[in-house]
Amino acid sequence: MHRGTRGNPLGRALNKAMASPMGGALLEELGRHSRESYVHSLQVARIALTLNRELGLNLGQRRIAEAGVYHDVGKMIVPRFILHKEGRPTGEEFDVIKFHPEAGRDLLAQSGSWMRFPKTTLAAAYLHHAPRYPAGTAEQLNAGTTEAKVSKLMTIADIIGAMRQKRSYKDPAPWNVVIDTLRSGIERGEIDPVLGNRTLRLLRGYDLRDSIDRDMARMERYADRQGVQEAPATRDRRAGFEWFVPPINSIAKEVITNWRNRFYRTMQRSRALVRARRSRILEQLRNTR
Ligand SMILES: [Fe+2]
Ligand SMILES: [Fe+2]
Q: How far apart are CA 259 and CA 266, in angstroms?
A: 11
Residue 97's pLDDT band, with cuts at 50, 70 and 90, is: confident
276 CA → ligand 1 middle, Å: 32
| 20 CA from centroid of ligand 1 (Å) | 22
Q: How far is the CA of 154 from the centre of ligand 1 (A)?
A: 10
Point out the ligand nearest to the CA of residue 125: 1
Closest ligand relative to 101 C-alpha: 1
Q: How far is the CA of 159 from the centre of ligand 1 (A)?
A: 9
Distance 118 CA to ligand 1 centre (A): 18
Q: Report the separation in Å between the CA atom of 286 and the middle of ligand 1, taken as the mean of its atom positions.
A: 44
Q: Say if residue 93's pLDDT is above 90.
A: no
pLDDT at 95: 79
Q: Which CATH architecture has domain 9-288?
A: Orthogonal Bundle (1.10)
Do 104 and 117 touch, CB atoms closer than 8 A?
Answer: no
Residue pair 84/110 in contact by the 8 Å Cβ criterion: no
pLDDT (average), residues 93-118: 79
Higher-confidence residue of 156 and 252: namely: 156
Distance 75 CA to ligand 2 centre (A): 9
The Å distance, Cα 64 to ligand 2 centre, comes to: 14
3-state SS class at 70? coil
The answer to whether 64 and 48 have CB atoms below 8 angstroms apart is yes
Cα(122) to centroid(ligand 2), Å: 14
Angle at 25 between CA 265 and CA 117, to 5 degrees: 85
How far does residue 203's CA lie from ligand 1's centre (Å)? 22
Contact present, 11 and 211 (Cβ < 8 Å): no
Mean pLDDT across the stretch 6-17? 76
List strand residue ranges (DSSP E) for the chain, in order. 235-236, 241-242
Q: pLDDT tens, 168-195?
A: 889 999 999 999 999 999 999 899 999 9
Percent over 90 (pLDDT), the chain: 45
> Which of 12-16, 26-30, 72-76, 130-134 has the weakest average pLDDT?
130-134
pLDDT band at 5 (very low <50, low <70, confident <90, very high): very low
pLDDT at 1: 40
Whether the CB-CB separation of 195 and 55 falls below 8 Å is answered with yes
Dihedral, CA atoms, 105, 107, 110, 115, nearest 10 degrees?
Answer: -90
Distances (CA, A) of 201 to 173, 174, 175, 240: 19, 17, 13, 48
Lowest pLDDT segment from 7-11, 72-76, 273-277 = 273-277
- Residue 277 CA, ligand 2 centroid: distance in Å: 33
Please determine, for residue 22, whether its predicted confidence score (pLDDT) is greater than 50.
Answer: yes
> Which DSSP symbol is given to 170?
B
3-state secondary structure of 241: strand
Environment class of 127 (CB within 10 Å of its CB; exposed 0-12, middle 13-18, buried 19+)? buried
Indicate the domain borders of the chain: 9-288
Q: In the prediction, which pLDDT does 248 show?
A: 47
pLDDT tier for residue 247 given thresholds of 50, 70 and 90: very low
Segment 203-220 shows an average pLDDT of 96
Percent of the chain residues topping a pLDDT of 70: 74
Q: Are 206 and 175 in contact (CB under 8 A)?
A: no
Query: Would you say residue 283 has pLDDT above 50?
Result: yes
User: In terms of residues, how long is the chain?
Assistant: 289
pLDDT of residue 273: 59
Q: Which ligand minimizes its atom distance to the CA of 47? A: 2
Which ligand is nearest to the Cα of residue 154, counting in written order?
2
CA of 168 to the centre of ligand 1 (A): 17
Burial bucket for residue 235 (CB in 10 Å: 0-12, 13-18, 19+): exposed
User: Which residues, listed in sequence order, are joined to residue 167 by a DSSP beta bridge?
Assistant: 170
- Distance, in Å, from the CA atom of 122 to the CA atom of 66, rounded to the nearest integer, reads 10
